[in-house]
Every structure is written in structure tokens, then in C-alpha cells.
Amino acid sequence: MSEQLIAVVKRDCPTCELVVPVLEQLALRKAVVVYSQDDPTFPDGAAGVVDDTRLDQSHRLQVEIVPTLIRMNGDAEQARTYGWDRTEWESVSGVQGLGSELPASKPGCGAINVEPAVLDQLKIRFEQTGIESRRIELGGGEDVIEAMYDRDWSDGLPLVPPTELRVMRMLQGTARSPQEVLGNCPPHMRALTVEKVAVNAVMAGCKPEYMPVVLAAIEAVMDEAFGLHGVIATTMYVSPVLVVNGPVRRRIGMNAGVNALGQGNRANATIGRAVQLIIRNVGGGKPDGVDRANLGNPGKYTYCFAEDEEGSCWTPLSVDFGFTEGTSTVTAFTGYGLQGLVDQKARDPESLCRSFAAGLRSAANPNIAPAGDAILVVCPEHERVFRNAGWSKDQLSERLYKLLEIPGHDIVQGSGGIAEGIPEAMADQVFNKIRPGGLLIVRAGGGAGMFSGIIGGWLASGAVGSVPVTKEVKR
């Protein structure tokens, strides 16, 4: 086999300019091929220059820094060096006395082919994306947004087209393998891979840095204890509600303050939407199909927010579920829409607890107990009432459970003129509106306004239906 030297250079590199005389020296003694990344006429007048402005050869050779000098024997690489170092160049080339008029060494420059945007395009061209999803070819006259509607991928809002480039960049947000199977996604129990999560995260409008949260969220809702199939199939109008805790909230810019449960924050909106799209597009949970909710609720588009840990005097929800403080988590909860809790006059914990209990008592129906789990979203001004009185979250929880004990005779069928209720035979029992462990308390919202909220839980909350599930966010 014949020996050959390969040099990869670019004009826009002072070190490449510096070694031009060395390349001329080498060409007198050896077979030298020079690949020029940015200018096919550089080095000026040199023989053996190959136009590599498409960067195919640079990519195949895995060049990272220019100039790079490689000694080849046939198709086999024997040695390489990069930048300019006289000793190294002499060793690789086998030619002594190179560049005697040059400094002994000088660092090189970054190669064009490893610039992020360029490298992504090269990986697509060389089919090195690791993406295995089937490519959908659209007709020349098709509008891509309308095509996605026509294929029934959408939740009713426009989707971001999941191009290979976008999916590949989304996958860069996680260290997990694209083909790792997270489990079988209800209701159709199709295998859900990290790649499929990325495709739907792109369509939802996520950034790559949201991927670890989306992955934790979908793993939480797919946990057997969450009971996703039932959540989708019930005629009640519940939906996964996601509460994010830990440093990841601030890192990706989630909203825990003003309008935390509303519109306007990209991370909140798109993380929740990505989970819903996965349930739809992978799991097959579509309205008027398996999804039989008689009313639905706006949370079926997206229902995701962060807890305001920094402003809270209480332990965060993640700690309540056994994680150490400072751990990033997502808690999935099966809930209805937000029910307002207005109390602008309470200045002591007991009065405010009674307002909260009255609101919780009305969940589902005043005569139904227990009535599923609930999230109590306490606004900053209400939390301040408990803070000033030195009440812990446990104290608040214990008092609410006590206030939510209901004598059976108060909720028998027909009580208060309401046909709903328990049988007369159970009138001597005492019921609690919320099962033990079913009340979740979080702090969120803007600093002005004594307006908290209740997210009521599915009537099937509990061991036989759906319980909140918390998963750690891992890259």
C-alpha cells in the first residue's frame, strides 16, 4: 500500500496560513492531499488542493482542529497531529527540518465541520442522527402545518414540524439513548422510546433543555400507580397535572409566580403539552375514541406549573414525597380544572383554614365523601397568614383533615335537597372528604391577591384508581 499525507486547512485560520510553506516543503518529498474547508483556492497555487467546502472529507476524517496532518497507509490511518508543532509534524510526516523559520509551535483553530449547526447538518446528510422514526414525505403542494392536522397528530393547535434537525437537537437535551424504551404507553400500550418523546416535544414547542422534565413527567404518568388508562378512558373530565420542583425550574425558566397556572410561559406550556401529545400520538388516547370525557377541561391541552419554593416557608412537594431538598422532580396528579378560593379578609390561620375546608368540601359534590385527592395551591398572601402564625405545612394539613371530617347524616342521599349522597344505612359513620395522604399543598402565584385555588382529584383517586406519582428529573 502507498503512503500518503493528508492536510486539512481553512483560509480563515492564521495557523493554516503559517504552515503553507511547510505544506510546500512536504509536497516536494511526499504525496500530499490538501483538503480546504472554506476556499478551494487555498493554499494559493498549491498542487493537490481538494475543494472540501461541503466538508464531507473533514467529517469522514473526524477533524476537529485545523490544520490537521494525517499519515495514511492506503485506507488505514497511521498517525495524526493538529495545530502546528514542528516535532509532531516531523514525526507524522517522516520529514525532518520542517518550517525552520517558523516558531516551534502554535495552536490551531476550530474546524468548520464541528461547528454545532454545521455538524448537525452533516450528521443528517451522513445518516448519523440515530433517529429511527419513519420519515413522512409531503407532496410538493402540501402545507406542512395543514398536513399535520390532516394526519390527526394535533391537539387542535398548530404543531411545530418535527424535522430531523429539530428532533436531533431535542435529543441533545438528554444523555439517554434515543432507542431506550420507557415503557408501554396507555391506552394502546405502544412502546414509547426517548426518540418518540423527542418528536412530540418538538411538535409541542419544547426547547431541548426541557427534555429531562418531559421524560420524568411521562414516566410519572405511565407509572402503574397513576392509572393512565383509566384517567384517559373515564367519562369524568380529569387530566394529568404536573408540578415541578427543584433547581430545574429555575434552570429552564419555569413560572411559579404571577399567572403560574395560566398562559405565557413557554416551559410550563410546552412541557405539559408534550405529555398530552405523547398520550395522543403514541398511546392513542384521542377524544371520542378511548378518551370519553363528557366535558374535558382546558388542562387537556397542558397543565404544568412550578412550585414557588424560594418564597415558601414550607417544605416543597418533592420533600413531601420523600426526595431530598434540592432534588429536581415532577409530580403527576390526576385533576380537574382550577377551582378558585377567595378569602380577602382572613388574617388568622383558623379562619383561613375554614375557608379552605369549605372550598374543598364542595369538590365534586358537597354530598360525596371521600371525593378524591386534591391539590391546594396556596397563594403568597395566604401563605403569609400561616407564616406569620408559625404554622408548618403539617399543621395546616392536619387542621384541614379535621375540618373535613363529615358526619354521615350530613351527606346522606337527599340531604340538603341533593339526591347524591351515601345510603341512609351509613349515616352513623364519619367520613373525610379527602383520603389520608391525598391532600397535596403547594405554594404558587403572584404576590398580590388573596386568591388560592383547588385542583380537585378524580373520584377514583386511591389505591384502586390513581395516586400521585413523583419522579426525579435526570438528564
CATH classification of the domain holding 74:
3.40.30.10
319 found inside a domain? yes
134 found inside a domain? no
Q: 14 and 101 share a domain?
A: yes
202 found inside a domain? yes
Q: Contacts for 100-108 with beta carbons within 8 Å, 24 or more apart?
A: 101/21, 102/18, 102/19, 102/21, 102/22, 106/14, 106/15, 106/18, 107/15, 107/83, 108/13, 108/15, 108/16, 108/65, 108/66, 108/67, 108/68, 108/82, 108/83, 108/84
Q: 283 and 353 share a domain?
A: yes
135 found inside a domain? no
Q: 350 and 446 share a domain?
A: yes
Q: 183 and 105 share a domain?
A: no
Collect the ranges in the chain with pLDDT lower than 70.
1, 463
What's the number of CA atoms in the CB half-sphere (13 Å) around residue 408?
9
Which residues are CB-contacts of 120 (< 8 A; sequence separation ≥ 6)? 165, 168, 169
Cell 398530552: give the residue.
Answer: 276
Largest CA distance in the chain: 106
- Among 125, 154, 172, identify where a domain stops: 125
Interatomic CA distance for residues 352 and 344, integer angstroms:
9
Instruction: Name the nearest CA neighbour of 26 among 121, 113, 119, 94.
Output: 94
Burial 54-67 (b: 16+ CB within 10 A, else e): ebebbbebebebbb
80 found inside a domain? yes
Rg over alpha carbons for the chain, rounded to the nearest Å, is 31
For helices 349-361 and 380-388, the axis angle rounded to 10 degrees is 130
Put the strands of the sheet holding 49-51 in their side by side order. 49-51, 32-36, 3-9, 68-73, 76-82
Q: 178 and 223 share a domain?
A: yes
Instruction: Name the nearest CA neighbour of 148 among 140, 214, 138, 279.
Output: 138
130 found inside a domain? no
Q: What per-residue confidence (pLDDT) applies to 462?
A: 78
For residue 144, what is its C-alpha cell?
Answer: 406542512
Q: 213 and 82 share a domain?
A: no
Interatomic CA distance for residues 362 and 467, integer angstroms:
21
Residue type, 425: A
How many independent structural domains does the chain possess?
A: 2
263 found inside a domain? yes
Q: What per-residue confidence (pLDDT) applies to 259?
A: 96
Q: What per-residue confidence (pLDDT) applies to 1?
A: 52
Interatomic CA distance for residues 373 and 454, integer angstroms:
10
Whether the CB-CB separation of 383 and 372 falls below 8 Å is answered with: no
Interatomic CA distance for residues 473 and 359, integer angstroms:
33
Whether the CB-CB separation of 374 and 438 falls below 8 Å is answered with: yes
Q: Is the pTM of this model over 0.75?
A: yes
Q: 117 and 149 share a domain?
A: no
Q: 192 and 318 share a domain?
A: yes
137 found inside a domain? no
Interatomic CA distance for residues 260 and 256, integer angstroms:
5
Q: 45 and 189 share a domain?
A: no
23 is in which domain, residue-wise? 3-125
- Among 96, 125, 154, identify where a domain stops: 125
Q: 177 and 45 share a domain?
A: no
Q: 237 and 376 share a domain?
A: yes
Residue type, 382: H
Q: What per-residue confidence (pLDDT) applies to 401?
A: 96
- Among 125, 157, 174, identify where a domain stops: 125
Q: 202 and 306 share a domain?
A: yes
